[in-house]
Amino acid sequence: PNITLLKNNGNTTRPNGIDITPDGEFAYISNCCQGHDPYCPRGRGIWWKHKILHNESWEEYGHPTLANSHVPIIINFGRTSGCADGFKIIPGLDDDDDDDVPNSPMIIGSCPGGLCILDTKDWKLYEPLLAYLGMPERVSNVAVGGDGYLYITGEGKLWRLKIHEDYREQMIKGRYSYIMEQRERDRKRNAEGGGEAKARDDL
């Protein structure tokens, strides 16, 4: 098979979950800390952020590559079972603060001791942990079902959690609709004389 190594980063000592932001610009990779190195002790959750290089990489390598890691999301949960494992990136929930600027995507996935929802904004400026749900077993992976439920796996078990009706539609809508909405916002901004839309570094 034609397998290409995109990144060989020593910082990600135990890479596990991976997902791409809805706009296709960034890849997040979770690091499952088990105490094998001082930077990654048990009970710490780490999610690395990589810029996906499209045009430059295609010209030089014939495929996209990943840039060096941005400052990762790091949360210390204490010495508890489980780690930052499987996760899913979903469009940021609309808080009605500013309809012209989309919220940062969110990470929903496993973390030490349970299930987490994280904001992908700069974690040094904002509190990344939006919600935490302790689980009776270690969580390994999650998926957002089109039926309005969150499906969770771990320790040979499968759980189902109902998504609140206020957020259900936004959580299960696909990447295509998110990208189309974002492009429509940019088109309106340009039509109103705002010039080219600024790059959104928080996505």
Provide the mean pLDDT of the chain.
78
Pick left, alpha or beta for residue 183 (phi over 0 → left; psi -120 to 50 → alpha; otherwise beta).
alpha
The order of strands in the sheet holding 87-90 is 87-90, 106-111, 114-119, 129-134
pLDDT one-digit tens code per residue, 6-19: 666 666 778 889 99
Q: Tell me the per-residue pLDDT of 39-90, one tens digit each, with 9 for 90 and over.
A: 888 899 999 888 887 766 566 666 677 777 666 888 999 877 899 999 999 8
The Cα angle at residue 127 between residues 41 and 198, in degrees rounded to 5: 115
pTM for the full model?
0.75
- In the chain, the amino acid numbered 169 is E
**Statement: residue 114 has pLDDT above 90:** yes
The neighbour count for residue 69, using CB atoms within 10 Å, is: 16
